[in-house]
Amino acid sequence: MMTPISHLLDNCRKYAGRTALFIDGQTISYAELHDAVDAQSKRLAAEVKPGERLALLCSNTLEFITLSLAAEAAGIIRVPLNIKCTAAEVAVMLADCAPALVVYEEKTHGLLANAGSLRAVSAQSLCQGSGAGLATLPQANDRCSITYTSGSTGKPKGVVLTHGNWHYVFANMLIDRDISESDTLAFIGPLTHAGWSYLYAGLLRGARAAIFPAGDVEAMLAYAATEEVTITTCVPTTLSRIVALMDETHPLRTSLKWIGVGGAPTSPALLKRAMSAFGRRIVLNFGQTEAMMTCCFYDLRRESDRDDAAGFIGRSYVYTDMVIMSPEGQPLPQGEIGEICVRGPHTMLEYWGQPQLTADAQRDGYVLTGDLGAEAEPGLFRIVGRAKEVIITGGFNVYPIEVEAAVAALDDIDEVSVIGLACEEWGEKITCFFSTHDGSLRDVDGLRAVLKPILGIKTPKEFYQLPALPKAPTGKIDKKALRKWMEEKQ
């Protein structure tokens, strides 16, 4: 099996004269991308041995892209680190993966404050340097990347994917998702996580990628006002901003073939708002770091006869097997709620250096996602929430996603998050945090009165309005931060 980096370097030669990247105001051809990766792989090979780790503490820059690809070309395990993490969090991840070299940018150097005495070099100097190392292309079974995901305890877990795993990630995407060489993909999420999957898949296809600083919706919209953008992807919180910031005549409304949304559930209310802008050209993606973003997807264009508010996450990718399992590990009949489990050649090899956690996360070849769902009809899945987030109140199980959807459907509500907090009377009390589009204050008693006929016993006991809900480094609403805020408040 050829590895993705081998395919990509071949494609760079095939599409040599075409534009590969628009980034930081400059245009990079496929030929220039090939030359940069080739030179930097030799430079890296002089510094880092195959199988050692290269940690990348970088933003959405050209250097991050070329050095990541160069690491793959040299058989070095790349470890992308999210720059929205704290210095303490970065130190824990670096201690865990023990990189041979850390690459930083001027604005991220401070994140190494707690990291101790590690070899570190700026991305700019590394890219400009020369090296005579011999870069050896990896084999499919070689480890390719370590991507960190937080566990329930807060201790990060390093998800290891091989080059072969990545081959099937991209195969899933290029077979099942509509990406062609004529497309321009716009990126406004951090390339350290899901965005990398879409970027790489687009480059394998010979498409063009326009890359902007993470979260800079305004810059993307300004670009899309003069250049045709056909695909973009984002988390739900960013989707809300895109819809709010576009005027009625913005070209993005008509140029997009589809907009991909993932990383967290999209509420029916937000989905309705997005459909008012883009029609049914929306794809909801369900994925995990352990299965690198390709578990299943719900393409609204293909599901025109469905109730989009029913929590569907769609149908599995071509190389993905999804089942709903009981706590005992038995497949459940259609309609019954259980844990969503995923199997395929793209799922993780291991958690780096944590064999017991690896064993706990897998069963009979399936990755246990920790998400609860059901097979609504043959091959079509829906989600009801995270297993660890189920609220048990007064003896009843309440799924936060259901309550969040009801609150988000109310006028002027922007972001919503629901958690369960310990309560002597109820066991756990349903607690709702929300923000409004214009910052206007909502009457809590009025909210409760409106929601009671809809939710009944699931109606939150407490409401807290915040200017904006806290976000995790991935852009998702941070429920751990909300719990900490409540602890400090009490």
**pLDDT over 50 (residue 152):** no
pLDDT at 278 over 90: yes
- What pLDDT, on the 0 to 100 scale, is given for residue 150? 64
| b/e sequence 471-490, b meaning 16+ C-beta within 10 Å | bbbbbbbbbeebeeeeeeee
Which residues are registered as beta bridge partners of 121?
103
> In terms of pLDDT, which residue wins out, 326 or 309?
326
Look at the domain 4-138 and name its fold.
Rossmann fold (3.40.50)
With bands split at pLDDT 50, 70 and 90, how would you rate the model's confidence at 38? very high
390-489 shares the fold of 168-387: no
Is the pLDDT at 196 greater than 60? The verdict is: yes
What superfamily does domain 390-489 belong to in CATH?
A: ANL, C-terminal domain (3.30.300.30)
Do 471 and 264 touch, CB atoms closer than 8 A? no
Contact assessment for residue 96 and residue 120, using Cβ atoms and an 8 Å cutoff: no
Domains of the chain by residue range: 4-138, 168-387, 390-489
pLDDT at res. 222: 97
Q: What percent of the chain has pLDDT over 90?
A: 80
238 contacts 415 by C-beta, under 8 angstroms: no
Handedness of CA 90, 91, 97, 101 (dihedral sign): positive
Average pLDDT over the chain, rounded to whole?
Answer: 93
Lowest average pLDDT, out of 186-195, 341-350, 418-427, goes to 418-427
Pair 408, 309: CB distance under 8 Å: no
Residue 151: pLDDT band (50, 70, 90) is very low
pTM reported for the whole predicted model: 0.89
- Mean pLDDT to the nearest integer, 376-383: 94
E strand residue ranges, 194-327:
208-211, 231-234, 258-261, 282-286, 296-299, 312-316, 321-325
Mean pLDDT of all residues in 364-373: 94
Residues forming beta bridges with residue 312, ordered by sequence position: 382
The pLDDT-based confidence of 11 (bands split at 50, 70, 90) is very high
pLDDT, tens digit (0-9, with 9 covering 90-100), for 387-407: 888 898 888 889 899 899 999
Check pLDDT > 70 for residue 409.
yes
Output the six-digit token pair for 53: 């780790």
Q: How far is CA 334 from CA 86, 135, 276, 341, in A?
A: 43, 50, 32, 14
Give the single-character DSSP code of 85.
Answer: S
pLDDT in tens, 87-145: 999 999 999 999 999 999 999 999 999 998 899 999 999 998 676 666 688 999 999 99
* pLDDT-wise least confident of 78-82, 125-129, 169-173, 175-179: 125-129
- What does the pLDDT read at residue 154? 56
Distance between CA atoms of 108 and 175, rounded to whole angstroms?
37
Question: What percent of the chain clears pLDDT 70, i.e. is strictly above it?
Answer: 98
Residue 74 in tokens: 């040299």
CATH no. of 168-387: 3.40.50.12780
**Alpha-carbon distance 43 to 363, whole Å?**
41
pLDDT, residue 133, reads 65
User: Which of helix, strand or coil describes residue 395?
Assistant: coil
Q: Tell me the torsion sign for CA atoms 456, 340, 320, 149.
A: positive
pLDDT at 419 over 90: yes
pLDDT at 425 over 90: no
With 0-12 / 13-18 / 19 or more C-beta atoms within 10 angstroms meaning exposed / middle / buried, residue 77 is: buried
Report d(CA 211, CA 192) in Å as an integer: 13
